[in-house]
Amino acid sequence: MEIKKFAKQLGASIALLSVSVSSFAGSCDQQQVSVLHQKAYAYNEAINNSAIKYRVNPALIKAVITAESCFRNEAKSHKGAGGLMQLIPATAKRFGVNDRFDPAENIDGGTRYLRWLLNRYGGSMPHAIAAYNAGEGRVDRYGANVPIEETAVYTRRVLNAYSKLASNGRPVQRNTVKATPIPVAAPVKPAPVKKDDRWKWDEFS
């Protein structure tokens, strides 16, 4: 009886630990960009090498790692995924990774998979991110908005981290690029405009 009781307590402790680990990785995208850069520092060489090799923005690689493991190389999931970019054994084998817990191999395989997904979906980042989490089959069927809450949350986390890392935490400026004037024929004289009429999009110019 005592052994059974101990086994139950141990199982509960492991379950709580996996929940806390999952929550920690899940909240990682909320951290300041300086903290994310600090976490990524040890893996920058591998990230930059893979970014150049597969033509993937290093900010996207870091964003996926942020959402997947929060830069914890030893991270494992209950679904059998492992390492920084949380590769399952089948995906690791598919993209030439022998040791999922070797950071350089893991990042190379994960980035190669990201490039493959970006190619598959015409460069669409939301589609590629959703497929990285839910699989190509579901994205082929539903598009980027896969009707699975986990995937929706995951996509938001990756895009949030990507926005921070790509802009280095600076607010995104809108309409900062001036359009080049194009010569056009003289316009027809418009009808009088009511006093309270206005073009809504002019407010954002």
pLDDT digit string, tens, across residues 1-23: 455 554 445 444 443 333 334 44
The CA–CA distances, whole Å, from 122 to 31, 86, 117, 127, 159 equal 31, 24, 9, 9, 18
pTM over 0.85: no
In a domain, 133, yes or no: yes
Mean of all residue pLDDT scores within the chain: 80
| Residues β-bridged to residue 87 | 82
Dmax (CA) for the chain in angstroms is 92
In a domain, 97, yes or no: yes
In a domain, 127, yes or no: yes
Q: What was the pLDDT predicted at 190?
A: 43
User: Distance between CA atoms of 74 and 201, rounded to whole angstroms?
Assistant: 49
In a domain, 69, yes or no: yes
150 is catalytic: no
Alpha-helical (H) ranges within the chain are 2-26, 33-40, 44-54, 58-68, 89-94, 103-120, 125-134, 136-142, 149-167
pLDDT digit string, tens, across residues 91-127: 999 999 999 999 999 999 999 999 999 999 999 999 9
Q: What was the pLDDT predicted at 152?
A: 96
Does 2 or 174 have the greater pLDDT score? 2
Structural domain total, the chain: 1
pLDDT digit string, tens, across residues 175-204: 433 434 444 344 444 444 444 443 333 332
In a domain, 192, yes or no: no
What percentage of the chain exceeds 90 in pLDDT? 67
In a domain, 178, yes or no: no
Phi and psi, residue 48, nearest 5°: -65, -40
pLDDT digit string, tens, across residues 157-166: 999 999 999 9
In a domain, 52, yes or no: yes
Q: What is the CATH number of the domain that holds 69?
A: 1.10.530.10
Residues 146 and 134 sit within 8 Å (Cβ to Cβ): yes
Catalytic one of 2, 68, 136, 149: 68
